[in-house]
């Protein structure tokens, strides 16, 4: 029986076509700028994101970390939402490696407004750390895969320009936002000085992310990648996987969104289950478990016995993420398993 693994969209395995692309990739020494597969990917992604240049990095966390370091000086302050990936899932790297303070604001499903951000910008005086960067996340992981409204991004960008503040986009799942809304990647990206996008989540590549920005910013980012230990040699094998993912796996993300919606609607009425259906906008579902027959960790254990895997985030919260290795039949099987465990209301 094949496992149904809904823990994350990072659990995908390379397809036969991707493996073939990896095996046949032309490679060289990327530290010398001589890897043709890396160079081709960087050129392609700069164009897709509407930027002058881009830089391949090993992970989304490295992409965010290098971007923050590139846009700041030690002692600067970065404004971002309190449940952002940079805050929760990057091991304090912004403080450790860039020496910056994070000013965390409470958003709605991960979204901040221009008014919230303006109220949080420090005055320019000797007593306060300078506010130099605003960082947004689209889609927002902890918000439930929620999509940042473009008009709000535009308002925040206008505010940032007014105050001389630069902007970073953690766009690890920006592909999902683009597919769900029909808004081009470069339209989202144009309001930011740096943008990071990830190949190893919904697109199914084994490794890798890209940072994009101006030539000047990427030149500095290239040095910072070296400082972070991210200089790579024959990394074209990884770039070939990313290139294959971009060429073949973007538009099919709509299937993941459909499956996420199917799962959410299929279990929302079960005893003890609460889901904010308005927040199920892409491929991530957060499930509150209270007042039912089983706690969240008990549901996980019971599902594991059925070869179905999801995450428990504490005693009362579950997360399920759809991806290219999950079919509609898998979702229907998961709905039935939940129903068998919890009973119908």
Is the pLDDT at 17 greater than 80? The verdict is yes
Judge contact between 66 and 88, C-beta under 8 A: no
Kindly list the distances between the CA atom of residue 120 and the CA atoms of 76, 77, 164, 334, in Å, as whole numbers in the listed order. Answer: 14, 11, 14, 43
Q: What is the pLDDT of residue 1?
A: 64
Angle formed at CA 38 by CA 203 and CA 46, multiple of 5 degrees: 70
Average pLDDT over residues 38-44: 98
Structure tokens at 280: 């199920």
pTM above 0.85, yes or no: yes
Site of tokens 């970073």: 168
Structure tokens at 319: 């997360």
Judge contact between 246 and 199, C-beta under 8 A: yes
Q: What is the pLDDT of residue 253?
A: 98
Q: What is the pLDDT of residue 2?
A: 86
Give the CA count within 13 Å in the CB-facing half-sphere of 103: 20
Kindly list the distances between the CA atom of residue 285 and the CA atoms of 8, 12, 259, 276, in Å, as whole numbers in the listed order. Answer: 10, 17, 10, 9
For residue range 157-208, list pLDDT tens digits in order.
Answer: 999 999 999 999 999 999 999 999 999 999 999 999 999 999 999 999 999 9
Judge contact between 72 and 216, C-beta under 8 A: no
Q: What is the pLDDT of residue 185?
A: 98
Structure tokens at 176: 């999902």
For residue range 139-159, list pLDDT tens digits in order.
Answer: 999 999 999 999 999 999 999
> What mean pLDDT value characterizes the chain?
96
Q: What is the pLDDT of residue 225?
A: 97
Q: What is the pLDDT of residue 181?
A: 98
Q: What is the pLDDT of residue 333?
A: 97
Average pLDDT over residues 5-9: 97
For residue range 65-114, list pLDDT tens digits in order.
Answer: 999 999 999 999 999 999 999 999 999 999 999 999 999 999 999 999 99
Helices then strands, counting H and E runs in the chain, come out as: 14, 13
Alpha-carbon radius of gyration of the chain: 21
Is the pLDDT at 345 greater than 80? The verdict is no
Q: What is the DSSP string of 110-131?
A: TB--HHHHHHHSPPSSTTS--E
Q: Which residues contact 164 (CB under 8 A, 6 or more apart)?
A: none
- Note the helical H segments in the chain: 16-23, 36-48, 60-71, 85-88, 93-98, 114-120, 150-163, 174-181, 185-189, 215-227, 236-248, 253-267, 296-305, 328-342
Spans of all domains in the chain: 16-248, 252-342
Is the domain defined by 16-248 classed in CATH 3.90.550.10? no
Is the pLDDT at 227 greater than 70? The verdict is yes
Q: What is the pLDDT of residue 325?
A: 96
**252-342 architecture in CATH?**
Alpha-Beta Complex (3.90)
Task: Give residue 26's pLDDT band: very low, low, confident or very high (50, 70, 90).
Answer: very high
For residue range 288-314, list pLDDT tens digits in order.
Answer: 998 878 889 999 999 999 999 999 998
Is the pLDDT at 122 greater than 90? The verdict is yes
Q: Which residues contact 288 (CB under 8 A, 6 or more apart)?
A: 273, 274, 275, 316, 317
């Amino acid at each position: 029986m094949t496992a149904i693994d809904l823990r994350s969209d990072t659990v995908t395995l390379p397809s036969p076509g991707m493996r073939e692309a990896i095996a046949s990739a032309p490679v060289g020494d990327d530290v010398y700028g001589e890897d043709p597969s890396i160079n081709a990917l960087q050129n392609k992604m700069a164009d897709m994101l509407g930027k002058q240049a881009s830089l391949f990095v090993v992970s989304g966390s490295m992409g965010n970390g290098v971007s923050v370091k590139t846009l700041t000086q030690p002692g600067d302050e970065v404004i971002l939402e309190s449940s952002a990936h940079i805050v929760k899932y990057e091991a304090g790297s912004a403080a450790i490696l860039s020496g910056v303070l994070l000013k965390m604001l409470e958003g709605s499903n991960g979204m901040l407004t221009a008014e919230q951000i303006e109220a949080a910008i420090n005055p320019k005086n000797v007593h306060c750390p300078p506010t130099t960067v605003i960082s947004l996340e689209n889609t927002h992981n902890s918000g439930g895969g929620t999509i940042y409204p473009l008009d709000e991004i535009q308002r925040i960008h206008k505010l940032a320009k007014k105050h001389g503040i630069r902007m970073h986009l953690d766009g690890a799942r920006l592909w999902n936002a683009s597919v769900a809304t029909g808004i081009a990647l470069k339209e989202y990206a144009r309001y930011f000085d740096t943008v990071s996008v990830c190949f190893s989540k919904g697109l199914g590549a084994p490794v890798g992310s890209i940072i994009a920005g101006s030539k000047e910013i990427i030149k500095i980012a290239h040095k910072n990648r070296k400082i972070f230990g991210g200089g790579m040699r024959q990394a074209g094998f990884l770039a070939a996987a990313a290139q294959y993912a971009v060429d073949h796996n973007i538009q099919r993300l709509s299937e993941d969104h459909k499956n996420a919606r199917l799962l959410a609607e299929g279990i929302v009425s079960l005893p003890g289950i609460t889901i904010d259906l308005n927040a199920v906008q892409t491929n991530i579902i957060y499930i509150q478990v209270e007042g039912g027959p089983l706690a969240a960790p008990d549901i996980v254990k019971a599902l594991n016995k059925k070869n179905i895997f999801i995450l428990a985030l504490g005693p009362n919260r579950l997360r399920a993420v759809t991806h290219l290795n999950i079919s509609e039949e898998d979702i229907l099987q998961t709905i039935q398993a939940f129903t068998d465990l919890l009973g119908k209301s």
